[in-house]
Amino acid sequence: MKKILFLLIILVLSTDCFSQNMPSMYESETLKVKPLNSNVFVHVSYLQTNDFGKVGCNGMVYFNKDQAIVFDTPTDDNASKELIEWIEKQQKKKIIAIVVTHFHEDCWGGLNQFHTNHIKSYGSQKTIGLLKQKGLELLPQHDFKNNIEIEVGSASVLIKHFGAGHTEDNVVGYVPMEKALFGGCLLKSVKASKGNLEDANVSEWASTVRKIKQEFPGLNIVIPGHGKGGGMELLDYTIQLFE
């Protein structure tokens, strides 16, 4: 009986410690930040569109030690300011990079606020080229060809282009220590429609996601560009949707 009681006390204490280490959810009218574990978060902001109405747009935040990396900005500078303040002032982490995963507005709409806060921004050469074609002057500061690794705390984070899908330039972000993938708009939440296909390559989409599935088996966390995240089932659903 004493042994059982001792084990129960240990369980309660460990659960309490975990809950203290897990940041609470942040929510305002313009931004939500939800913890998926103690280091990986999804940030959600909103974009008003002509075809789909008000759309929730996902990004990812990853913490390691006293540093953070953000994948895709919130949709405007106000929401980006909220996110930066939540990370740097409330969570006491230094943002060492913002990564723009493709050239659509839901990925870079709040980029100016990151630059105002002297945060380094990254985008692929394809993404920067497509943004220039749109006549935009607000561009990621640092480019890469097909992939780049960025050190965050003591961890290495991979950003890689696997091929065309939602757009020609869409890249994904992978955190090996967490087996976490930010797929952005290349990946669909389960039961989602095909969405915006204006710049899509539907003939290559499934093949591109198969490459990701082969390189990153056993993912624990998968975040799509819109809608609910999950695990490997998002890759399987996206492949099925575009086969």
- The DSSP code sequence of 140-172 is -SEEESSEEEEEETTEEEEEEE---SSSSS-EE
- pLDDT, residue 94, reads 98
- pLDDT, residue 8, reads 41
Establish whether 118 is a catalytic residue: no
**CA–CA distance, 64 with 18 (Å, rounded to integer):** 16
Establish whether 146 is a catalytic residue: no
Q: Any idea which residue has 């709409």 for tokens?
A: 109
- Measure Cα distances from 124 to 97, 104, 116, 141, 185 in Å: 14, 13, 21, 10, 16
Establish whether 179 is a catalytic residue: no
* Structural domain for 155, as ranges: 27-242
- pLDDT, residue 203, reads 98
Whether 22 is in a domain gets the answer no
Establish whether 102 is a catalytic residue: yes
- pLDDT, residue 6, reads 42
Across the beta sheet with 40-49, the strand order is 26-27, 32-35, 40-49, 53-64, 67-71, 94-99, 121-124, 142-144
Establish whether 194 is a catalytic residue: no
Whether 10 is in a domain gets the answer no
Whether 13 is in a domain gets the answer no
pTM for this entry: 0.90
3-state SS class at 133: helix
What is the Cα 158 distance to its own chain's centre?
A: 12
The CATH number linked to 60 is 3.60.15.10
- pLDDT, residue 16, reads 41
The phi and psi torsions of 144 (rounded to 5 degrees) equal -150, 160
**CA–CA distance, 130 with 64 (Å, rounded to integer):** 32
Whether 8 is in a domain gets the answer no
- pLDDT, residue 9, reads 39
Please tell me which residue in 102, 126, 160, 161 is annotated as part of the active site: 102
Whether 7 is in a domain gets the answer no
Note the pLDDT tens digit of each residue in 23-59: 889 999 999 999 999 999 999 999 987 777 789 999 9
**CA–CA distance, 63 with 180 (Å, rounded to integer):** 12
Whether 135 is in a domain gets the answer yes
Q: Any idea which residue has 């967490």 for tokens?
A: 178
Establish whether 166 is a catalytic residue: yes
Whether 14 is in a domain gets the answer no
Extract the residue ranges of the chain whose pLDDT is less than 70. Answer: 1-21
Q: Where are the beta strands (DSSP E) in the chain?
A: 26-27, 32-35, 40-49, 53-64, 67-71, 94-99, 121-124, 142-144, 147-152, 155-161, 171-175, 180-184, 221-224
- pLDDT, residue 53, reads 78
Establish whether 93 is a catalytic residue: no
Please tell me which residue in 39, 58, 64, 196 is annotated as part of the active site: 196
Please tell me which residue in 72, 76, 106, 169 is annotated as part of the active site: 106
Structural domains of the chain, count: 1
- pLDDT, residue 18, reads 41
Establish whether 185 is a catalytic residue: yes
- pLDDT, residue 101, reads 98
Whether 215 is in a domain gets the answer yes
Please tell me which residue in 43, 104, 126, 161 is annotated as part of the active site: 104
